[in-house]
Amino acid sequence: MSYPDIVVAGGGNAALCAAITAAEAGKRVLMLEAAPKPYRGGNSRHTRNFRCMHDGPLSVLTGTYGEDEYYNDLLLVTKGNTDERLARMAIRGSQESQPWMEAHGVRFQPSLSGTLSLSRTNAFFLGGGKALVNAYYRTAEALGVEVLYEAPVTHIELDRDRITRVDFTHGGARHSLSPPAVVAASGGFQGNIERLVEAWGPEAENFLIRGTPYNRGDVLFNLLGQGVQSIGDPTQCHAVAIDGRAPKFDGGIVTRLDCVPFSVVVNKHGDRFYNEGEDVWPKRYAIWGRLVAAEPEQVAYSIIDSKSKDLFMPSVFPPVTADTIPELAGKLGLDPQKLARTIGTFNASCRPGTFHPTELDGLATEGLTPPKTNWARPITEPPFYGYSLRPGVTFTYLGFKVDETAQVQGADGPVENLWAAGETMAGSILGQGYLAGFGMTIGTVFGRIAGREAARYV
Amino acid sequence: MFEQSQMERKAAARIDEARRQIEICNACRYCEGYCSVFPAIMRQRSFADADVTQFANLCHNCRGCYYACQYTEPHEFDLNLPGILAEVRTESWERFAWPSPLARLFQRSGTALAVALMLGFAVLFWAAQTLRPESGEGFYAVMSHGLMVSVFMPAFLLPLLALFVSLRRYWRHVGGQGVGRSQIRQALSRAAYMKDLSGGQGQGCNFEDEDRFSNARRYAHQAVVWGVFMCFGSTISGTIMHYVFDWPAPYGLLSLPKLLGVPGGLLLTAGCLELARLKLKAEPALGARRVWAGEMGFVLLLGFVSLSGLLLYASAGTAAVAVLLPLHLGAVLTFFLLMPYTKMAHGFFRLAALIKDAAGN
């Protein structure tokens, strides 16, 4: 192993953008990726688009998406829980980053089918996030960046305001380096169930993790433990309701279920607990993770009939199917009489009206608690279908506090030779909620800044 | 009997596995920009065996989807769509071919191809020796025109007939309807530009070096296709000159048969060599492992057809013609006769699949 100028902890989009930028500035860069090669790229390998500001048509993006509109979209989801200066940097930086991404091997395509609502604001990666990650690794390696896989960082030694040592394991041995500069781009801690349990309580044992199991937050907690300043609520994570049969880790995009608005959702006791028709999908998609997490055993069941079967994106696993509601209940492990009663009450409260699957149609129940305020059609036409739902954790909000140069802030001011990028600092900007494609924006813009600043320092 | 049903069970299991993978792809859709297969998948929500067979024949094995996939092994979903579709595809050619045992033999075995080549050579050599003409110029001094025609006419027409039967079986199986002109035009254009090896944006395949995109395979394949067409054109023009204009071979360098045949032969030889080289570098698990040797044998046979043709032309007027002519003609004979039972069938099935697909666009 050579003696690098800069060590990058991490192997996803932000780490790659930092490594490529620093290598182009002539620095010797070593990337330490905790995952084995087939799983490299952190959560970036599950992503698919990049939210991008543009003052006019740009690459695959049509029309315009200005800074203020973008910032307002961010305010809506974060309810103001953001750092305006950093947020606007990310937003402005996205426009200039898009051609940079193309120049470094990323290919874009118009929005994927089923995501037309994002065609103006989000540029989609041809082949998805893993294709982007592959392209960046090719570019980085061509620039001489050295990459070690299965090389988790175990400790970063902070001596007052300087990083003096990086410890990691690789090939069954412990290694230490003392590079002039370090970039931390190793994601959140959502792959670390014990930490989730600490933050959420024992229910977190039943959560599914949509992304990589390698985002364990080891670098994050290691440095926070040495007095580095944090940002973001340590007890919060972003979760959506996904197919309950999904793998524990890395289920990614395919485990999403878009059936909720057209369904009746019950908990394991067969009771409804929330308005399934509250707002347009996918706007209300995100809240269901939390809702299901609050129900007994963190599980719920979404029931539809054959009328609604083809109204949403196909599911990765076929639904549980039956000709009657009690039979379906039996197959789902629910009390047949109870479910039949819940569905019967729901059906009786449905009113005639015009059903519009793609807009708020106002087709609401009457005299039902909780109500279903849109798309309320009786569940009557067999066969009936059921999906189990569980909370699927996407990312955590806890991160490093950074300034406009992506420099990490220690207890008494900036750490002289430490920068952070990507999910590990995204809590500064996305303090709450979720905005499609914005994680990749933060990672790209701040990855490039971190790489540039670290290179300038060395 | 037992063997037959076991084979059918294996084929059915492969289609089930392909269906499992396709259903995951349909929930993901990240790859929709790569080729024709994904848009075709996304037009449906459930997949009959025939649909799977159609997708398999649409797939050109560019492997872009494999390297972009979040769900390849060691992920528990264990996706390898190019691999399983290649298995289903070759299995479908074997199933639709008549007689299918021949297809099974030659699709899979490079050795069987080599043996067939030797036989072809021996037959032609024996014919040249025992039926040596009294007179004749150029090649016809070694083998008479009449003999060549009586061997090659049926050797060309019978395989075409067999292919026609297979394609009709395929078309019925996948539920193909009447074919419109725009459908044909669309399919031919996709085939001519090898759109499905373009990666969707012209960057090419992930074939010979993991996830690196390259057009090497696409261009080599183009060289082979156009080389075959030019060599075929050379033969046709020679036939027309012989029969219509009463102008028998040998032809000069500036004649139509040579103007088409020499560059065509060079393209074909170079294309086959490149395809063989790429195949050696490619990951076998992303193709149909069972037919690797048969495919390699076929590429080499095709390269040998053109190379021996070029050598034959270069050695005109020397004693080597007496050996090279039966060698070349033996290779051509083998190539023609085995057309429905070798990788050559893929061109016909792919075109049929593209025509079928164009109906859904």
Q: What is the pLDDT of residues B303-340, one digit of tens each?
A: 999 999 999 999 988 888 888 888 898 999 999 999 99
Comparing B158 with B142, the larger pLDDT belongs to B158
Kindly tell me the burial class for residue A3, based on how many C-beta atoms sit within 10 Å of its own C-beta (0-12, 13-18, 19 or more). Answer: exposed
Chain B, window 30-59: residues with a beta carbon less than 8 angstroms from a chain A beta carbon: 30-34, 42, 45
Question: Mutation test of the interface with chain B: which of A310, A316, A440, choosing the one with the most B Cβ atoms within 10 A?
Answer: A316
**A401-455 pLDDT per residue, tens:** 999 999 999 999 999 999 999 999 999 999 988 899 999 999 999 999 999 999 9
Mean pLDDT, residues A157-165: 97
Q: Which residue of B29, B69, B200 is in closest CB contact with A130?
A: B69
CB contact set of A121 (below 8 Å; sequence gap of 6+): A51, A52, A61, A65, A70, A73, A437
* pLDDT confidence of residue A438: 96
Rounded percentage of chain A residues whose pLDDT exceeds 90: 90
* pLDDT confidence of residue A320: 97
CB contact under 8 Å between A113 and B28, yes or no, is: no
B180: closest CA of chain A, how far (Å)? 27
Residue A248 CB neighbours (<10 A): 11
Please answer whether residues A253 and B28 qualify as being in contact, where contact means their C-beta atoms are separated by less than 8 angstroms. Answer: yes
**B95-154 pLDDT per residue, tens:** 999 888 888 888 988 888 888 888 888 888 788 778 777 777 777 777 788 888 888 888
Distance of alpha carbon B149 from alpha carbon B156, whole angstroms: 10
Question: Which residues on B lie below 8 Å from A45 (Cβ)?
Answer: 70
**A17-35 pLDDT per residue, tens:** 999 999 999 999 999 999 9
* pLDDT confidence of residue A284: 65
Distance of alpha carbon A329 from alpha carbon A152, whole angstroms: 46
Distance of alpha carbon A111 from alpha carbon B354, whole angstroms: 25
Tell me whether A112 touches chain B (CB under 8 Å): yes
Report cis status (omega within 30 of 0) of the bond before B74.
Answer: yes
Query: Degrees (nearest 5) of the Cα angle B124, B126, B132?
Result: 90
Is residue A400 classed as helix, strand or coil in its secondary structure? strand
CB contact under 8 Å between B70 and A253, yes or no, is: yes
What ipTM score was computed for the predicted complex, to two decimals? 0.95
Question: Mutation test of the interface with chain B: which of A50, A130, A149, A310, choosing the one with the most B Cβ atoms within 10 A?
Answer: A130
CB contact under 8 Å between A112 and B32, yes or no, is: yes
Task: Output the DSSP codes for A23-68.
Answer: HHTT--EEEE-SS-GGGTTGGGGG--EEE--BSS-BTTB-S-B-HH
Tell me whether B283 touches chain A (CB under 8 Å): no
Residue A316 — pLDDT band, cuts 50, 70, 90?
Answer: very high
Distance of alpha carbon B342 from alpha carbon B340, whole angstroms: 6
B78: closest CA of chain A, how far (Å)? 12
Strand partners, A231: A399
Distance of alpha carbon A151 from alpha carbon A11, whole angstroms: 10
The size of the A-B interface in CB pairs under 8 A is: 83
Residue of chain A nearest B67, judged by CA positions: A131
Question: Which residues on B lie below 8 Å from A138 (Cβ)?
Answer: 211-212
pLDDT at B208 over 70: yes
The model's pTM is 0.95
Rounded percentage of chain B residues whose pLDDT exceeds 70: 99
Tell me whether A202 touches chain B (CB under 8 Å): no
CB contact under 8 Å between B24 and A310, yes or no, is: no
Distance of alpha carbon B65 from alpha carbon B72, whole angstroms: 10
* pLDDT confidence of residue B136: 76
Q: Which residue, chain included where needed, has tokens 């025109």? A: B145
CB contact under 8 Å between B211 and A38, yes or no, is: no
Secondary structure string (H, E, C) spanning B144-155: CHHHHHHHHHHH
Secondary structure string (H, E, C) spanning B190-241: HHHCCHHHCCCCCCCECCCCCCCCECHHHHHHHHHHHHHHHHHHHHHHHHHH
pLDDT at B1 over 60: no
Ramachandran sector of residue B346 (left: φ over 0; alpha: ψ -120 to 50; beta: rest): alpha
Comparing B295 with B98, the larger pLDDT belongs to B295
Question: Which residues on A lie below 8 Å from B33 (Cβ)?
Answer: 109, 126-127
Taking alpha carbons only, the member of A136, A142, A208, A163 closest to residue A422 is A136
Lowest-pLDDT choice from A44-48, A247-251, B5-9, B165-169:
B5-9
Mean pLDDT, residues A290-306: 96
Comparing B135 with A157, the larger pLDDT belongs to A157
* pLDDT confidence of residue A36: 97
B27: closest CA of chain A, how far (Å)? 5
Token digits of residue A122: 């989000």
* pLDDT confidence of residue B4: 66
* pLDDT confidence of residue B3: 62
**B16-31 pLDDT per residue, tens:** 999 999 999 999 999 9
Determine the angle formed by the axes of helices B345-360 and B145-173, rounding to 10 degrees: 40
Q: Which residue of B23, B24, B32 is in closest CB contact with A113?
A: B32
pLDDT at A115 over 80: no
* pLDDT confidence of residue B144: 81
Q: Which residue of A134, A247, A313 is in closest CB contact with B27?
A: A313
Distance of alpha carbon A316 from alpha carbon A455, whole angstroms: 44
Question: Which residues on B lie below 8 Å from A38 (Cβ)?
Answer: 72-75
Question: Which residues on A lie below 8 Å from B76 (Cβ)?
Answer: 247
* pLDDT confidence of residue A455: 98
Residue B361 — pLDDT band, cuts 50, 70, 90?
Answer: low
Tell me whether A114 touches chain B (CB under 8 Å): yes
**A117-148 pLDDT per residue, tens:** 788 999 999 999 999 999 999 999 999 999 99
Q: Which residue, chain included where needed, has tokens 């059903």? A: A355
Question: Mutation test of the interface with chain A: which of B20, B26, B29, choosing the one with the most A Cβ atoms within 10 A?
Answer: B29
Parallel/antiparallel/unpaired status of strands A384-396 and A320-322: antiparallel
* pLDDT confidence of residue A235: 86
Residue of chain B nearest A131, judged by CA positions: B68
Lowest-pLDDT choice from A223-232, B88-97, B249-258:
B249-258
Chain A, window 30-89: residues with a beta carbon less than 8 angstroms from a chain B beta carbon: 38-39, 45-46, 48
Average pLDDT taken over every residue of chain A: 95
Please, what is the end-to-end C-alpha distance for chain B in angstroms?
A: 42
* pLDDT confidence of residue B152: 86
Q: Which residue of A109, A130, A316 is in closest CB contact with B23?
A: A316
B13: closest CA of chain A, how far (Å)? 18
CB contact under 8 Å between B72 and A310, yes or no, is: no
Question: Which residues on A lie below 8 Å from B65 (Cβ)?
Answer: 127
Token digits of residue A222: 């290691």
Report cis status (omega within 30 of 0) of the bond before A383.
Answer: yes
* pLDDT confidence of residue A283: 60
Average pLDDT taken over every residue of chain B: 92
Please answer whether residues B142 and B124 qualify as being in contact, where contact means their C-beta atoms are separated by less than 8 angstroms. Answer: no
* pLDDT confidence of residue B322: 84
